Amino acid sequence: MNGKIFLVDRQSKLVPLVEAPYESEDLLQTLLADYPDLLAGELIDADHPRRWLLIKREAGIPGEEAGSGRWSVDHLFVDQDGIPTLVEVKRSSNTGIRRQVVGQLLEYAANAVTYWPVEKIRSEFELRCVKDGILADQALYDFLGPEADEEAFWQKVETNLRLERIRLLFVADKIPSELQQIVEFLNRQMRETEVLAVEIRQFEGEGRQTLVPRVIGKIAEPPPSAPKQWDEASYLGRLEPADQEIGRRLLAWAKGNGFRVEGGKGLKSAGLNLILETPHGDLKPLYLYEHPVAIYLQLVRMGPRFQPIEMRQELADKVHQATGASIPPDGSYPSLHYTYLQSPEAMAGFLKVLDWLVAELNR
C-alpha cells in the first residue's frame, strides 16, 4: 500500500498521510463497534442515509431451532428500518477474503433468517448495553427518536428476518477485485437481501490517523431502504406462471369476504396488504408476499381476540390440520408465517381456515 492523502493544518502546513495497514482485524472490528458511521450509511443510501444500532460483536448464530450459537458473525447491526445487518471483517492480507469469507457470511445469513428469534437479538442488545454501562431504553430512544415505538421497531426486525430482508457487509482495508465481482453478482441475483462491501482505508502521518470508507457493489435497483409501492397487477405480474392462479384465487376470496386490498411496499419483491373492516375497526390480518406465494397471518394486528396464546394455538392447529404446514403459535413471533402449499387440497383447506378466521374477527 502506498496511497497518500494530504491535510492542511491550522498553520497552512501541508501534512502528508500515507496509507497504512491495520495492525490486526480486531483493531478494525473495534473501530466499527466504537464508530458505526464508518459503515458509510450515506453512501449506501444517499436519499435515506442508513444509521446503525450495534446489537453485539461476535453475535452467535444457531444452526437449529432453539439452538445455541454455532457460528458468530463479527458484528450484528440493525438500521433505523429494523433491517438486520451482518458484518464480517477481514484484512486484505487475509487470503480468505477472496472466496472463503463469501461462503462464510452466506452460511451465517441462511441460518440467521431461519433460526434467529427476535427475542434473542433484543436480549443481546440489552446485555451489550449493560456491559457498556448504558441504559438500553435510552440507547434505543437516542437511535430512533422521540416519536418511535420501541415494540413496533422490534416487530420490524422480526418481520425483516422472516422476509429475508437483511443486509450483508464485507468490510476490509482494501476490497480485492475478485470479491467485488462476487458482491455485485450476489446483489443482482438476490431479491430481498442487499450485499455490499465497505472498504475502509487507513492513512497515518505525524501522529494523525484518517479513515476513508468507500462502498462497493451498489447496483441500479432500489436498495432495501427504498421500497416500491405495489398494486394487484404488479403483484400478480411478479408471480411465477404456476403461482398466478393461486394469487388470483386468494384475492378473489379476500374481496368476497369484505377485505380491502392495499398495495404493499416491497424492497425487490411484491406484496399486498389485506385489510378487514370489522365491528372493532379496521384490522390487518393478512399480507400476501411473492416468491414463493406466502401468507403472513399478522396476529398482532388482529385485535384483542387473538392475543391470548390459546387463540394463536387454535389457529396454528387449524392451519396444520388443513394443510400439513407447521407454523409457530407461541408469543415469540409477532405473526404466523405460512408458505402456501400449491395443491388444490391445501388451498381448499386453507380457505376454510380463513373463513373461520373472518368469522372470529367479526365477533
Residue-wise pLDDT tens digits, 178-207: 899 999 999 888 878 999 999 999 999 988
Cα–Cα distance measured from residue 130 to residue 357, given in angstroms and rounded to the nearest whole number? 43
Say yes or no: 233 and 342 in one domain.
yes
Say yes or no: 191 and 70 in one domain.
yes
Say yes or no: 165 and 238 in one domain.
no
Question: What's the pLDDT score for residue 30?
Answer: 96
Say yes or no: 206 and 270 in one domain.
no
- From the number of C-beta atoms within 10 Å of its C-beta (0-12, 13-18, 19+), residue 4 rates as exposed
Q: Is residue 54 part of a domain?
A: yes
> 139: closest CA among 49, 131, 169?
131
Say yes or no: 43 and 149 in one domain.
yes
Question: What's the pLDDT score for residue 73?
Answer: 96
Q: Is residue 73 part of a domain?
A: yes
Say yes or no: 169 and 136 in one domain.
yes
* Parallel/antiparallel/unpaired status of strands 167-172 and 4-8: unpaired
Beta strands in the chain (DSSP E): 4-8, 14-19, 52-62, 69-79, 84-89, 167-172, 194-205, 208-216, 228-229, 259-263, 265-266, 271-278, 281-289, 294-297, 336-339
The answer to whether 87 and 32 have CB atoms below 8 angstroms apart is yes
Q: Is residue 222 part of a domain?
A: no
CA 60 to chain centre: 17
Say yes or no: 207 and 258 in one domain.
no
Question: What's the pLDDT score for residue 242?
Answer: 72
Amino acid identity for residue 33 in this structure: A
Say yes or no: 275 and 334 in one domain.
yes
Q: Which of 188, 216, 244 is the last residue of a domain?
A: 216
Question: What's the pLDDT score for residue 351?
Answer: 85
Q: Which of 216, 245, 279 is the last residue of a domain?
A: 216
How many distinct structural domains can be found in the chain?
2
Range of the domain at 107: 4-216
Q: Is residue 155 part of a domain?
A: yes
Q: Is residue 260 part of a domain?
A: yes
Say yes or no: 108 and 69 in one domain.
yes
Identify the segments of the chain with pLDDT beneath 50: 222-224, 329-334
Question: What's the pLDDT score for residue 65?
Answer: 78
Question: What's the pLDDT score for residue 318?
Answer: 84
Q: Is residue 221 part of a domain?
A: no
Question: What's the pLDDT score for residue 54?
Answer: 98
Q: Which of 168, 186, 216 is the last residue of a domain?
A: 216
Query: Structure pTM?
Result: 0.65
Say yes or no: 170 and 207 in one domain.
yes
Say yes or no: 202 and 84 in one domain.
yes
The answer to whether 63 and 71 have CB atoms below 8 angstroms apart is yes
Say yes or no: 195 and 240 in one domain.
no
Q: Is residue 223 part of a domain?
A: no
| Cα–Cα distances in angstroms (integers) from residue 20 to residues 4, 54, 210, in the given order | 9, 27, 10
